Structure 1
Amino acid sequence: MGNQPSTPQPGTEFQVIGAGLSRTGTASFSEALHILLQGPVYHGGTQATLGPEIEIKSWIKLLSHYPPKSEADRKLILNGLKERFHGYAAATDAPASGLVEQLVELYPNAMVICTVRDPHAWVKSMETVSNASTMWFLRFVLFPVPGMRYFVDYINVLRNQWVYNYGEHEPVTKKSWDNHMKYLKRVVPKERLVFFDVKEGWGPLCKALGKEVPDVEFPRINDGEAIERLAKRMVTKGLVRWAGIFATIGVGAASYMWLK
């Protein structure tokens, strides 16, 4: 999270399913894939919060049917994923990382790459995500901001997806990490699954994808700082818009009283 949203390019082949959980270097990984695959990469956190309103609304609709309870639900999820990722070379971060089983079915030729880090450090870093996304005043503050007015509903369906997949609410523990690893090994054929630590740089990633190491530095994006910046930015935007609304109301009321 924290990059600019990507724009799909029709005709782009979908090649990589990013199966790493949030806070495992998914932003850096996304930029690295963009360089290697020479196509747009769908980073879930960035697209849902900074992309067009249709992004976040589509995810709310899709995840409202997860886990699928019928064949109709299953088809709705698959069609929704196909629509969201049309024109992208890869998808990373949540919600895609929790829909790997569906994505493996939808893209049988795509490689599944799970970004990893020390599990205990990951648990600690997830507190930042929880703190930024569960502030009690968000629904009111973000209401004037297009797209982000749906943020609380989006977090709620993400939470339901998480609880179903990993069996716990926030604050998350190493149990969620372990259950995600078990989930991937269960739903992804062994020959298609790769684990990758972004600290290792280009070498292992290029080897997995059969690409030459590019003559540029491996991207380093701090997910935690990006999330904090986004939270402050959106809250500030919401407050400014509320100030404008109240100012407009005040002017209107004053004009009415003067005319009266």
Structure 2
Amino acid sequence: MTSMPQVLVLGFCRTGTASMRLALNTLGFGSAHHIGRVMNNSREINAWINLMDAKFVHHQELGRAELDPLLAEFRVVADVPGLLFAKELVEAYPDARVILTLRDPDTWLRSMQATLIPMLAPPPFALFTRIACLLDPSGLGRFIPFARRTLELVLGPLDEIRNNPETAKGRYLAYNDDIRALVPPDRLLEYHIGRDGWAPLCAFLGREVPEALDFPHRNDARSIMDGSRKQIWGIYRRFARRAAAFAVVAISLWIGFGQR
């Protein structure tokens, strides 16, 4: 098995990248690197933050020496944080095929407004998120600012987008144009989840069409929000259990000392 990325899924968030990951896994490419693999790994979050600082703050050149430690074990790279390094990925892995997942801009914007933007930008959902981050500083408290930064590096400040959604749509379209300008046409497949099916993807990758299988669909807006809420309420439940245990110990000690 080749230990380097063979497929780069550079479509932006909420364009069907999760469904594309499942499709590529079905075609034999294995699991992908994506934001979900970073979420509960503070060491990897720190590594990506260092790369983001190197590129966007210090304007350093990055290549395989920097990318391989994070990506070499995967044959597919999809979604953020990888797409922030689209130019570096395309140059570092010249044999990799590139897929640009696309979505109608208005539909994409509505999906963002229903999921990622309210989850990462105030208000209203962010109040509960912020409290959860304080209760879980090394987990969710580390991940949420990281995830917000990854989006803002492409779309701009999320607070601004809440007030002027059309700004996000324009930047989304500009991002897609940047990918088209970056990748040679013979390496690039523009793909619409839910419309194009297996045939163009398999032809592009040189794989046989799995006739017996429907193209996968995953990670719709509701599942994202439900998953986020479950994680946050899980943090609250763990905190409540710890607080209750502490209260029992404290009361026991108080009673014990009071009887002396």
More displaced 10-residue stretch of structure 1: 34-43 or 232-241: 34-43
SS in 2 for 1:196: strand
SS in 1 for 2:146: helix
Find the aligned partners of 2:158 and 2:98 in 1 and give their Cα distance. 23
SS in 2 for 1:112: strand
Q: After TM superposition, list the pairs within 5 Å mapping 1:148-227 onto structure 2.
A: 148-163=140-155, 169-171=160-162, 172-173=165-166, 174-199=169-194, 200-214=196-210, 215-227=212-224
Q: CA deviation at 1:178?
A: 1.6
State the TM-score, normalizing by the size of structure 1.
0.84
Q: CA deviation at 1:157?
A: 2.3
Q: Is the 8 A contact 2:120 2:148 kept in 1?
A: no
Q: Is the 8 A contact 2:9 2:76 kept in 1?
A: yes
Alignment of 1:59 with 2:48, yes or no, is: yes
The equivalent of 2:231 in structure 1 is: 234
SS in 1 for 2:19: helix
State the TM-score, normalizing by the size of structure 2.
0.84
Q: CA deviation at 1:175?
A: 0.4
Residue 73 (structure 2) aligned to one of 87, 90, 98: 87
Q: Is the 8 A contact 2:154 2:175 kept in 1?
A: no
Q: Is the 8 A contact 1:116 1:197 kept in 2?
A: yes
Give the unaligned 5+ runs of structure 2. Answer: none
Q: Is the 8 A contact 1:112 1:194 kept in 2?
A: yes
Letter in 1 for 2:146: Y
SS in 2 for 1:114: strand
Residue 19 (structure 2) aligned to one of 7, 18, 28: 28
The equivalent of 1:48 in structure 2 is: 38
Residue 129 (structure 1) aligned to one of 98, 109, 116: 116
Q: Could you list the per-position Cα deviations for residues 122-167 of structure 1 after superposition, in whole angstroms to 9, with x for gaps in the alignment?
A: 1111112111223134233134445323123213421442246x99
Q: Using a 3 Å threshold, how does the CA distance of structure 1 residues 221 and 67 change in structure 2: closer, same or farther?
A: same
Find the aligned partners of 1:168 and 1:253 in 2 and give their Cα distance. 43
Alignment of 1:108 with 2:94, yes or no, is: yes
Find the aligned partners of 2:132 and 2:159 in 1 and give their Cα distance. 28
Q: CA deviation at 1:168?
A: 9.7
Q: Could you list the per-position Cα deviations for residues 189-228 of structure 1 after superposition, in whole angstroms to 9, with x for gaps in the alignment?
A: 2321210012121011111111110242211114312211
Q: Using a 3 Å threshold, how does the CA distance of structure 1 residues 169 and 213 change in structure 2: closer, same or farther?
A: farther
Q: Is the 8 A contact 2:4 2:71 kept in 1?
A: no
Q: CA deviation at 1:81?
A: 2.9
Letter in 2 for 1:212: E
Q: CA deviation at 1:109?
A: 0.8
Q: CA deviation at 1:96?
A: 1.8
Q: Using a 3 Å threshold, how does the CA distance of structure 1 residues 160 and 217 change in structure 2: closer, same or farther?
A: closer
Q: Is the 8 A contact 2:84 2:150 kept in 1?
A: no
The equivalent of 1:5 in structure 2 is: none
Give the unaligned 5+ runs of structure 1. Answer: 1-9
